[in-house]
Amino acid sequence: MILVTGATGNVGRELTALLPEARTLTRGSGADLAEPETLTPALQTVDTVFLIWPFLTADGAEATLGKIAQHARRVVYLSSSAVRFGPDTDPITRLHSDLEAAVHASGLEWTILRADTFASNALGWAGQLRAGDIVRGPDSAATAVIDPADIAAVAVRLLTDPQPGTTHTVTGPEVLSRADQVAILGTALGRHLTFEPTPFAEARAQLTADGRPPALVEALIGSAERRPRSDLVTTTVQELTGRPARTFRVWADRNAAAFS
């Protein structure tokens, strides 16, 4: 039995579609990763857990992993490809670095799945694109943006064909800036779209004024401001699924309705 956490998220939805027999952990299930004792019913008869950590720090992760280890044998943790830059890169990278360390120390058989920037992050622009043809926001370094469906496909392989003690990094097939992504979205939507970068101080002030929690604001701005450009393109999707990673254009075509 496989337990999928974060089952209603961008990766979780894709994963549960591929593994309909898996047990799912959602906010409405009564179980909470922040309260390990609530996980007991969901963990009964579970052998493997796909772990998505939904918090901004690793606080509580050791206790949660301890509870998982009381029932399950293996964990596959969804991490970030930015961990390779070091934990001090930005708050989100530190989170994933700390979680990887906790997973390693948990006593569980572990596999780490590091993913590059999710294509689905572009859904955050949907409101702006319904209102006009300009996306405004903080810029960030270009990365090989990956379709969550490809992350899920690799996760299925790692969950069903155990590869304990290994780390796998998945990326899309091309390195894209935010301006590149917006232009590609425009092609998919049949519109001429442009990206206008917002100064980090201005973006921070706007997010704060919108009522976002300070820790979340710092995580989002810190990641955009400090993460270095990455030219890394891996063949992991091809190697583990037998087909190449999808392009951002394929993702945009599949999700065009979300922007109109």
User: How far apart (Å, rounded) are the C-alpha atoms in residues 239 and 222?
Assistant: 33
What's the pLDDT score for residue 30? 83
Tens digit of pLDDT for each residue in 193-245?
A: 999 999 999 999 999 998 999 999 999 999 999 999 899 999 999 999 999 99
pTM for this prediction: 0.95
Instruction: Identify the pLDDT of residue 144.
Output: 98
Residue 197 β-bridge partners: 137
Supply 140's token pair.
């960030």
pLDDT at residue 26, rounded to an integer = 77
pLDDT at 244: 98
Q: What is the pLDDT of residues 36-49, one digit of tens each?
A: 999 999 999 999 99
Distance of alpha carbon 115 from the chain centroid: 7
Closest CA to 162 of 81, 72, 80, 96: 72
* pLDDT of the residue at 209: 93
Query: Which residues in the chain come in under a pLDDT of 50?
Result: none
Residue type, 54: P
- What CA–CA distance (Å, rounded) separates 136 from 146? 22
**pLDDT of 29:** 75
Across 235-257, b (16+ Cβ under 10 Å) vs e yields ebbeebbeeebbbbebbbeebee
What integer pLDDT is reported at residue 257 of this predicted model? Answer: 97
DSSP-assigned beta bridge partners for residue 168: 113
> What top-level class would CATH report for the domain 2-259?
alpha beta
Three-state DSSP string of the chain: CEEEECCCCHHHHHHHHHCCCCEEECHHHCCECCEHHHHHHHHCCCCEEEECCCCCCCCCHHHHHHHHHCCCCEEEEEEEHHHHHCCCCCHHHHHHHHHHHHHHCCCCEEEEEEECCEHHHHHHHHHHHHHCCEEEECCCCCECCECHHHHHHHHHHHHHCCCCCEEEEECCCCCECHHHHHHHHHHHHCCCCEEEECCHHHHHHHHHHCCCCHHHHHHHHHHHHHCCCCCCCCCHHHHHHCCCCCCHHHHHHHCHHHHC
Maximum distance among all Cα pairs of the chain, rounded to whole angstroms: 54
Report the distance separating Cα 154 and Cα 81, nearest Å: 14
Please report, in angstroms and rounded to a whole number, the separation of the first and last CA atoms in the chain.
39
